[in-house]
Structure 1
Amino acid sequence: PTEPGFSQGFFSILHGKVEVACGDMTPQHDSDPSTKHPPFNIIADKSQFSPGDEIKVTLSMASSEGKHYFKGFLIEARNAGDLNEIVGSFKLISPGISQLLKCDNKEGSAVSHTSDSHKTEVQVIWVAPSDSPSSVQFLVTVARGYKEFWVKIPGPGVPQNGAAPPPQTTFGGSIGAQTTQTTTSTILSRSFTSEGCGGSKSCLRDPEGCDPQNDTACHFLSFSALGSSVTFELSGPAEGYVSFALSQDKWMGNDDVYLCIRDTDRVDIKAAYVFGRTHPIISSQNILKGIAWRLSDGVIQCSFRRDIHLPPENLNRFDLDQMYYLFMAHGRAEDGRTHRHDHQPLISTYRAAITGPLEDLTGSRSPLLIKYHGAFMLIAWTSTVSAGVIMARYFKPDWPERNILGQKVWFQVGLHRMLMTITVLLTLVGFVLPFMYRGGWSKRAGIHPYLGCVVMALAVIQPVMALFRPAPDASR
């Protein structure tokens, strides 16, 4: 679920699940809707209706000098006398490119796209309810891309039989749409510096001790409190964005996020929030002040101020007089939309007091559970299994006539059995740890988890085979 004050980023163009935008029909694309005349036609096949009637609604491309397609859409029918009231339900004609949505707790009360494929036309059927208003107004939001979209394009208004036609509305950017608040930004005249880290400001850096003024590979975050606000500086090499988050724990999810996103030759600075391991949801509320940015040699830098305490309506924003783990991440961006971070985020070693004592913090990109995973696998497959094989290969001739508990000395005392048992146990523990960290199967880890499953299976099969191995003096 999405909390008030937030909308799904990128209008969910990839899958069209845009119930969060049912009310204002506005995608949160970090920019305002286009005010150009929309190059689309919206047609209804009836000029009047009665309750229970079906009306075919067609959204299609009009003649246009630019792109001859659209990617995303949202179609609704509203009460022409009260445009806040969603009316009736829809049926699909082309389920391959359209899907029904549940808006205003009404099943099938809106239609959206299923993917970001290029479309030139979509048709749907609207079914008039038994309690239909005197007239309905069809409204459509259409997105060609992240930066180019139109909100609440008025389609035809259709009255009931015998009712007066509704007044015709004209397009002026949107009908009752809310626009994203913006703050004027400035360009930084010089690079950030690590001078003062631990003295006049707190810093988190990777590599440890690096200086963003001299090292373009330096990922850098600093913060310092002054009065009722905190100033943040963020820097790092990235193709699309750099970001940091305030978190109550070392797990991604329910975090207060701040992103500096490169958009061609400028940087957009946004506040966001993350619900679980999902795409950040950009805040529609303007909470950042003193915004400034810089682009140089592939490095994105940005700075801003944020009040320590925010009004209650700023949901999902953390108060800055508390202690939090700090996350730093970077990755690619396309048309202003961020993609998953390229590497594991840098996570501070311990919670930092944002407005507390100034510190030069340390962090790691390898979570403790993953470090244990690597250590256990390394010990198992380079140490214990090798020693166990050496015992079996070279120590059989020693004490050839002596047995302990019915087994040869090299097998019992020579540690072969014990070393192999330790190998299996270390492999088992190392195998489980990544699943504990990820909370399940990782779909982005490539072939590594599959190889791990094969290794785990072979490690278990080995002692099982040993149980069925005949004795040395057996006839088999």
Structure 2
Amino acid sequence: MYVYTFLSIICTLPLALCYGNGKVTGSCGNMIPSHPASSQTSSAPYTVSVNQSSFQGGDTITVTLQGQSTAFRGFLLEAREVGGGQPVGTFSVTDSQAQLLACSGIINSAVSHTSPANKNSVKVLWKAPSSGVSKDIAFSATFVQDKVTFWVQVKSETVKFTGVPSTTTPSLPISFISSAECGNTKVCVSQPSNCNPASSSSCSFISVTAFSTNSTFLVEISGPASGYVATGFSNDQKMGNDDIYICVINGSGVQVQHAHSTGKVMPQILSQGQVSNVQSSVNNGVISCSFTSQNAITTQSRSAASNFTYYLLFASGPASGGSIKFHDNTFSSNQKVDLTNPQFLATSEPSSVKAHGALMLISWMTTGSLGMLIARYLKAATKQHRCCNKDFWFLAHLTLMVTSVIASGIAFIVIFSFAQDWSGGAHPVLGCIVMILALIQPIGAAFRCAPGNKWRFVFNWGHALNALVIKVLAVAAIFTGLGLIDNTDSRWLQKVMGGFVAWEVLCFLLYELNLRNCLKEKTERTSDSNTTEVVLLGIFFLGNIAFLVALLCGIGMS
């Protein structure tokens, strides 16, 4: 008796275990597993659900296999027309627990398990054919609890076919990655905010889908770049002690690299570890890749983290031979995020970057502009008005310009203590030139000739020309700086800055015309002409403050 039982076990064991890897194409037709038992007739403790009740040709539907109270070990999923027996459409997987099968000679027409481990939930994507479907469909799944307990063809609700899309030819997706499930099944962050990489070639995008095990997650990265796009999991908004994944062009394809950053140096490339299901593309200058990782996220000198709350960092730039170069675009999420809590995050500039931008705007678009205007046009209006044995215009000019230099110096120190590098393209170079020339101004003024000296004109012209060069370069630096922090599609901060510059040019032209007119008529200065200059100063100041406040608010919200 014992011998018979033992032989029975030996004979049936291969049948029970040979499909633990999910290679069950032999069951595609009737969806019945090759197990030594009959399917259950009771109501299945499992469900097949979909995220939409109707579809058109080419639509993508999310399908979820769910255990209500009992885990399942194996499964087989197909989509079939109602009343039909052949699979339709194609699947794609975002879950390491699932793999694609070819049923009835159709590639990717079914999904099955990858191991006999217990599963509580599996999500996959199904794409409807662009043509050839004219009926409603339903998803059918076989669930295997153990070798003798399984349910066959557990069906979803019927998904109604509503026709083909409009006759207009849709544009091809720029990336196979989409923002459609952001906030629903995955955590996302992008620049510009809330953009969709599938339809925008300027969208830099990260998404992370954490699975119930908390040790497996799906990462998607997409963005315009010449060599690579990368994401990092960080405890702050700066580089250093970050867990990084890089999608870099290497030869004719895109390679996924796992790395760790130790600061403002080349990240240390690590073993790829448990990375699977890699998909990638390079389309019109946009690099996209997705992959599943079972590597533990580690930061702080590679010590394992105790939770799944991180800042998400993005970087992109050039590469050569599979090796990344210095990045030319970066951003981070505005807050730490729990990767298991799906949401669409905003990006944010660190407070030090915002403080730098605000100080530079105040320095060279308000105090600096007022100081230059007073020195050029309001000397006569303040004639005979003195304080501390100095002309009032001179004291006002000196105070405003010293304030500009001091504020610029603080802004310079703040940004370099934060960034500690020259990232940002032309902006840091222009800023350094402005800072150097701004320091030359007070030094030159301290050693200027007396007003009656025959060489005084050299100082006057040099001082004025240097101020003009500073103003032009400062405006260029502000434009490039706003371009780095303005993450909106409309780039409205740069447009407001353009209006700001136009307003200042208009006011200076009005002052210049008024001055030329007085010189042409060779008339004595009167109280009326002085009043005109003071009124123009008031108008200039009010308009300047209005533009300044708008830009400061924009920087604060960036």
Calculate the TM-score normalised by the size of structure 2: 0.45
Counterpart in 2 of 1:378? 361
8 Å CA contact retained: 1:308, 1:321: no
* SS class of match (1:358): coil
Q: Cα offset for 1:257?
A: 0.4
Measure the CA separation in 2 of the matches of 1:411 and 1:281.
Answer: 57
Counterpart in 1 of 2:278? 291
Amino acid at match of 1:305: T
Counterpart in 1 of 2:268? 281
| CA shift digits 1:58-105 (9 cap, x unpaired) | xxxxxxxxxxxxxxxxxxxxxxxxxxxxxxxxxxxxxxxxxxxxxxxx
Q: Cα offset for 1:244?
A: 0.4
Counterpart in 1 of 2:308? 322
Change over 3 Å in CA distance of 1:473–1:336 after alignment to 2: closer
Amino acid at match of 1:462: Q
Counterpart in 2 of 1:407? 390
Name the Cα RMSD after superposition. Answer: 3.6
Percent sequence identity over aligned pairs: 35
| CA shift digits 1:231-284 (9 cap, x unpaired) | 222222333322101111122122100112233343322211112222222222
Counterpart in 1 of 2:204? 219
8 Å CA contact retained: 2:317, 2:329: no
Q: Cα offset for 1:204?
A: 0.9
Q: Cα offset for 1:218?
A: 2.0
Amino acid at match of 2:317: G
Counterpart in 1 of 2:194? 209
Matches within 5 A, 1:151-300: 191-228=176-213, 229-284=216-271, 286-300=273-287
Measure the CA separation in 2 of the matches of 1:380 and 1:206.
Answer: 29
Counterpart in 2 of 1:306? 293
Matches within 5 A, 1:312-391: 316=302, 319=305, 321-341=307-327, 343-355=328-340, 357-364=341-348, 367-391=350-374
Amino acid at match of 2:183: G
Q: Is 2:374 the counterpart of 1:431? A: no
Counterpart in 2 of 1:22? none
Measure the CA separation in 2 of the matches of 1:422 and 1:219.
Answer: 39
8 Å CA contact retained: 1:308, 1:320: no
Q: Cα offset for 1:367?
A: 4.7
Q: Which structure 2 residue ranges, 5 or more long, are not aligned? A: 1-98, 101-107, 109-124, 128-174, 457-558
Q: Cα offset for 1:203?
A: 0.7
Higher helix share: 2
8 Å CA contact retained: 2:367, 2:403: yes
Structure with bigger gyration radius: 2
Q: Cα offset for 1:353?
A: 1.5
Q: Cα offset for 1:215?
A: 2.0
8 Å CA contact retained: 2:257, 2:272: no
Measure the CA separation in 1 of the matches of 2:339 and 2:286.
Answer: 25
Measure the CA separation in 1 of the matches of 2:212 and 2:280.
Answer: 23
8 Å CA contact retained: 1:309, 1:320: no
Q: Cα offset for 1:388?
A: 1.3
Q: Cα offset for 1:436?
A: 0.9
Change over 3 Å in CA distance of 1:438–1:219 after alignment to 2: closer
* SS class of match (1:426): helix
8 Å CA contact retained: 2:382, 2:392: yes
Measure the CA separation in 2 of the matches of 1:389 and 1:311.
Answer: 54
Q: How many residues align?
A: 284
* SS class of match (1:363): coil
Measure the CA separation in 2 of the matches of 1:194 and 1:320.
Answer: 29
Higher RCO (CA-CA < 8 Å; seq separation 6+): 1
Calculate the TM-score normalised by the size of structure 1: 0.52
Change over 3 Å in CA distance of 1:451–1:226 after alignment to 2: closer
8 Å CA contact retained: 2:258, 2:270: yes
Measure the CA separation in 2 of the matches of 1:337 and 1:461.
Answer: 42
Residue 442 of structure 2, aligned match among 439, 455, 463: 463
Measure the CA separation in 2 of the matches of 1:217 and 1:398.
Answer: 52
Q: Which structure 1 residue ranges, 5 or more long, are not aligned? A: 1-184
